[in-house]
Structure 1
Amino acid sequence: MKKIVLILGVALGVLACNKTETNSKEFKTAYIDTAEIIEKYEKFKDEDAKFNVKSEELGRPLEAKVRAFQAEAQSFRQNAQAKGPQWAQQKGAELQQREQQLGIEQNALIQQLQQEGAVLKDSLISEVKKFIKDYGKKKGYDYIYGTGDAATILYAKDGYDITKDVLKELNDKYNASKGDEKAATKEEAKK
């Protein structure tokens, strides 16, 4: 009995493998290492260099303020004992307030740069995806897979897109459950 089950399992496995092989031969597929594209695409490199220059330019005024603050803090440490505790307390509070303000400025600059960097990266990735899609159509690919940091399908023929069908069923199911909830609420209200 165990031998029959084992033989049947092996036979089904072989048939399943054969069926998969014939289906995979029907499609023209390829893959792209997205991490390598990001690393080696010249436009990515150029835009990254421009962004780094812009970051440095925007950061220079803040760096100058930080250096001035550090010099003033060093002077404070040297003069604190000589000028007395009252002066040290007042000057220390002023320095602390300036340090907090510099921290706020630094955080704002970092946030601005992160937002600008994200927008730039998104636009470049969209551009690359569009290129890959056009390339796939031109070369007759059914699927182009992505590997690397973002492993996704980068291109597929429109006929293989079942998004609308799945979305319709999800929405129908959701709307039906909403209708059931409304009916249940009306039933409870009648009681």
Structure 2
Amino acid sequence: MKKSLLIIALAISIISCNKETQTKEAAAFKTAYIDTAKLMEEYTEAKDVTEKYKAKSDEAAKKLEVQEANFKADAAYFEKNAQANGQAWAQQKGAELQQRQQQLQYAAQTMAQQLQGSHATEMDTLVKNVKKFIKDYGKEKGYDYLYGTGETASVLYAKDNYDITNEVIKLLNEKYASSAKKEEATEAKKEEKK
């Protein structure tokens, strides 16, 4: 009986020492989180990409509006003059108008798909670069874990003092601004050579 009590006491002391070691190791982890939704809303490059494709979309819509207005004018002319010009003319012009309408619809769909594809590709590249930046940032600052919150939350709770979102946004915006200035300087030099 004494031997079994001694074995149990020894086992309990080993387990408690092991738990203390695990607790000390867990307490030594440096962690933080980033609100990824806020990051993408406030990151200047992400805003610029979104604005760029919004402008392209608006420009494409204006071009299509002109073509659509011309089509509507031709359709109105057709309706007005269909009976006066005869059935053969009406059938021929009706078929032409129908073909133009299909071409306009196809052009609109194609343009929308191209813009969406280009925007998605550019945003994917941007997200990939942000992830790399965050990984490098985490290594540089000595973090063991960086969590993401936002639309695809992987953290259910964290104290606010672990939130480094604003710091990362600031650094990303500074990096983007400096790269934009370098591009502008390069473009200016190219223009001077011409």
Identify the residue that residue 109 of structure 1 maps to in structure 2: 111
Equivalent residue number for residue 172 of structure 2: none
1:136-172 per-residue CA deviation (whole Å, 9 max, x = no partner) reads: 112211111112223459xxxxxxxxxxxxxxxxxxx
Q: Name the residue aligned to 1:31.
A: 33
Give, in angstroms, the shift of residue 129 of structure 1: 0.9
2:135 alignment counterpart? 133
Q: State how 1:133-152 maps to structure 2 within 5 Å.
A: 133-151=135-153
Task: Within 5 Å, give how 1:165-184 maps onto structure 2.
Answer: none
Q: Distance in 2 between matches of 1:143 and 1:88?
A: 72
One-letter amino acid of the counterpart of residue 63, structure 2: P
Task: Report the alpha carbon displacement of residue 96 of structure 1 after superposing the two structures with TM.
Answer: 0.7
Report 1:20-99 matches (<5 A): 22=23, 24-99=26-101
TM-score (norm 2): 0.60
Structure 2 vs 1, CA of residues 24 and 81 (structure 1 numbering), >3 Å: closer, same or farther?
Answer: farther
Question: Secondary structure of 2:143's partner?
Answer: coil
3-state DSSP of counterpart to 1:46: helix
Contact 2:37 2:149 in 1 (8 A): yes
Aligned-residue sequence identity (percent) comes to 52
**Equivalences, count:** 136
Stretches of structure 1 lacking an aligned partner (at least 5 in a row): 1-14, 154-191
Q: Which moved more, 1:93-102 or 1:60-69?
A: 60-69
* Partners of 1:59 and 1:135 in 2: CA distance: 41
Q: Which amino acid aligns with 1:147?
A: T
Q: Which protein, 1 or 2, shows the higher relative CO under an 8 Å CA cutoff with sep ≥ 6?
A: 2
Query: What stretches of structure 2 of length at least 5 have no aligned partner?
Result: 1-15, 156-194
Find the aligned partners of 2:34 and 2:64 in 1 and give their Cα distance. 41
User: Alignment RMSD, CA only?
Assistant: 2.6
Distance in 2, matches of 1:121 and 1:150, equals: 16
Residue identity in the other structure for 2:105: G
The residue type paired with residue 53 of structure 2 is F
TM-score for the superposition, normalised by structure 1:
0.61
Contact 2:138 2:146 in 1 (8 A): yes
Partner of 2:146, secondary structure, is: strand
Distance 1:152 1:127, change over 3 A: farther
